[in-house]
A and B are shown apart, each in its own frame.
Chain A
């Protein structure tokens, strides 16, 4: 089996991640503030936050909160801000983990302002400047790296514009965390969402968000936290808890191990290797008949490459690749419905391949051979 669907969930996981998850299940349970059985509990959570802080470029890792992934994090951020959708600017490149919360804010029939992207999936910073100058918006939410095209937005430029106009800057790093350098502090990010199971190489059901100190959200969940249990109502003057309920401690331990793995390899090195792999795939696939690659114009990309064919739909290509050649890809809208109109892929979406630090050139060669046979 050749696995080229790492933008959905990475596979395989590093050995240290697999071992750490297994060891966490063997060990006594971690009980955050609830038990003294495991003295390692706080260390696991603290160490994982610290390592993630390095990968996300934030100097206050204690402001990282764990969740089940980017979707829960973005829901918490976008609903928790309690700002009407009409005062929020976002982009057509977004995943439904941003779009659906914005279009379904409780008691709000408004819609967010959508910035366009070009045919390669890039949002021009001037578009934000133009909308922000109108003065109505209070928040800007942006996908750092598209899960459809791999297009990497200039987060620093957008952060500068957002703050010049007094907008909160929310950055969705679901697709970039773990495979691309991120500088949350330096880019002026106010809230940053990430997931553990993609390029961070952790397990599904892990992730979280970082929140700038002083920024306050209304929690989605209230419940046991293991501390201040007599407090029932959270008044506005009290710090809210964003981690109610029991955390996924084995998953967080595995995420911490994954973060160590990535730090030791070096994000710039990983990013360079995956850039080389994408360039290699672009080179050998661009010569195939009846196949059109999307977003291959030389600007910065994450480890994602989409394509369409005029012979077979993306769904058919993915089916044949998986069932006849043992190659796992992803087809369709990739849960980002609005970007396809801009990049010319239409209602059927794209066939997407995506890489990890474990992807080999020989696997790209096998994909190219299969596509050549199918499309010739």
Chain B
């Protein structure tokens, strides 16, 4: 998986001090891509049984979520920990 672009999410209602970004990927997310995200740490949920499987990784200061087959996943990060955004993006650049 390679992240090619970062965009501020259109869902801007950041009610608890968190900001959201969409990280665009070169190819549609595969099972392997999603599993690779686990290495970032935190609790991991993957609902494979859904028509379009959903995953969520929840770390202390950020959350990743997305759907297999999409060319993006979302990262919510507390605005005091925006360095996490760089860490995730750089891991898959």
Q: B-contacting residues of A (Cβ < 8 Å)?
A: 316, 319-320, 323-325, 332-333, 335, 337, 347, 349, 373-374
The listed residue (B16, B56, B67) touching A323 by CB distance below 8 A is B67
Cβ contact within 8 Å between A333 and B67: no
Given contacts A319-B65, A319-B74, contact A324 B50 (CB under 8 A): yes
Cβ contact within 8 Å between A373 and B65: no
Cβ contact within 8 Å between A324 and B52: yes
Cβ contact within 8 Å between B16 and A320: no
Name the B residues within 8 Å of A320 (CB-CB): 47, 50, 54, 67
Residue of B nearest to A349 (CB): B15
The 5 closest A-B pairs by CB, nearest first: A324-B52, A323-B67, A320-B54, A333-B15, A324-B67
The listed residue (A319, A332, A347) touching B54 by CB distance below 8 A is A319
Within 8 A of A (CB), among B68-93: 70, 74
B39 within 8 A of A: no
Cβ contact within 8 Å between B51 and A316: no
Contact with A along B14-58 (1 / 0, CB 8 A): 011000000000000000000000000000000101111010100
Distance of A373 Cα from B47 Cα, bound (Å): 10
Residue of B nearest to A347 (CB): B16
Cβ contact within 8 Å between A373 and B51: yes
Residue of A nearest to B76 (CB): A315
Ordered by A's residue number, 8 sampled pairs between the chains whose C-beta atoms are within 8 Å are: A316-B56, A316-B65, A319-B65, A319-B74, A320-B50, A325-B52, A332-B13, A373-B49
Name the A residues within 8 Å of B15 (CB-CB): 332-333, 335, 337, 349
Name the A residues within 8 Å of B66 (CB-CB): 323
Name the A residues within 8 Å of B51 (CB-CB): 324-325, 373
Name the A residues within 8 Å of B50 (CB-CB): 320, 324, 373-374
Cβ contact within 8 Å between A374 and B52: no
Distance of A373 Cα from B52 Cα, bound (Å): 11
Question: How distant is A374 from chain B, measured CB to nearest CB, in Å?
Answer: 6
Q: Knowing that A319-B54, A320-B50, A325-B51 are A-B contacts, what are 13 other residue pairs whose CB atoms are under 8 Å apart, sorted by A's residue number?
A: A316-B54, A319-B65, A320-B47, A320-B54, A323-B70, A332-B13, A335-B13, A335-B15, A337-B15, A347-B16, A349-B15, A373-B50, A374-B54
Name the B residues within 8 Å of A337 (CB-CB): 15
Residue of A nearest to B63 (CB): A315
Question: How distant is B21 from chain A, measured CB to nearest CB, in Å?
Answer: 14
Name the A residues within 8 Å of B70 (CB-CB): 323
Residue of A nearest to B51 (CB): A324
Distance of A87 Cα from B46 Cα, bound (Å): 52
A323, A337, A349 — most chain B CB neighbours (10 Å): A323
Residue of B nearest to A324 (CB): B52
Question: How distant is B23 from chain A, measured CB to nearest CB, in Å?
Answer: 14
Name the B residues within 8 Å of A316 (CB-CB): 54, 56, 65
Residue of A nearest to B13 (CB): A332
Distance of A337 Cα from B16 Cα, bound (Å): 11
B13, B15, B16, B51 — most chain A CB neighbours (10 Å): B15
A324, A325, A333 — most chain B CB neighbours (10 Å): A324
Name the B residues within 8 Å of A374 (CB-CB): 47, 50, 54
Distance of A256 Cα from B47 Cα, bound (Å): 47
